[in-house]
Amino acid sequence: MTDWRTSLGSLSNRHLLPIKLKWEQLSRREKRLLSVLGTILALYLLQVSVETFLMTPYHRYRDEESSLRSDIFQALALSREIRQSQEKIRERSRTLAADRGGFSLISYLEQEADRTHIRSSVTQMTPRSLPPDGNYHTTLVSIRIEKVDLPHILVFLARLERSRHLIRITRITLERRFDQHRLLDVRIDVQSIQSS
């Protein structure tokens, strides 16, 4: 047991003895300067070790936390959108249930034309039934309106867009009349969805 201690001591003496001799040959000012440089080096090594062993894991965990926080906010936003979509689906289902068998797209378009004072300008209404899509029946009506001004058409379109019924405008064509430039000829395709 003492063998390895003596061999280690002789080895360290062999390497440390030249350093001790050099240290003793230095002036007081040089010793102070080397002490300051040693202290700076020790502080630098302490800082590097603290950053490596403490700060790096801290930053990694902080980044993971911010990533998780971002994921949670995205999940909350998706949850809100899903709830809004479910509410819209429930509202549309109630509308479909209320319209079951009692809604006629042509009659509704005639009423809206009366309300917007363009009924006399409607020259043609052509209904078409589209193939059923599952439990829903789709009707398309093409309306031709002649000699009407832009404000009346805009009011008519706005009323259709704000309808409580499940209808949508699929196509609009506006043509300026050659004989009266302030008037238009309009073709509108309106589609309705009803439960079968």
Least confident of 30-34, 110-114, 158-162, 183-187: 30-34
The pTM for the full model equals 0.51
Better-scored residue on pLDDT, 55 or 144: 144
Domains defined along the chain, listed by start:
102-195 (3.30.70.60)
Q: Most distant CA pair in the chain: distance in Å?
A: 122
Sorted by sequence, the CB contacts under 8 Å of residue 140 that are 6+ apart come out as: 127, 128, 129, 130, 170, 189, 190, 191
What pLDDT, in 10s, does the model give residues 28-39? 888 788 888 889
Q: Under a CB-based contact definition with an 8 Å cutoff, are residues 124 and 145 in contact?
A: no
Q: Under a CB-based contact definition with an 8 Å cutoff, are residues 140 and 180 in contact?
A: no
What pLDDT, in 10s, does the model give residues 94-132? 766 666 666 788 888 888 888 988 888 888 888 887 777
The label of the residue with tokens 């240290």 reads 23
Q: Which of 23, 16, 54 is nearest to 38 (CA)?
A: 23
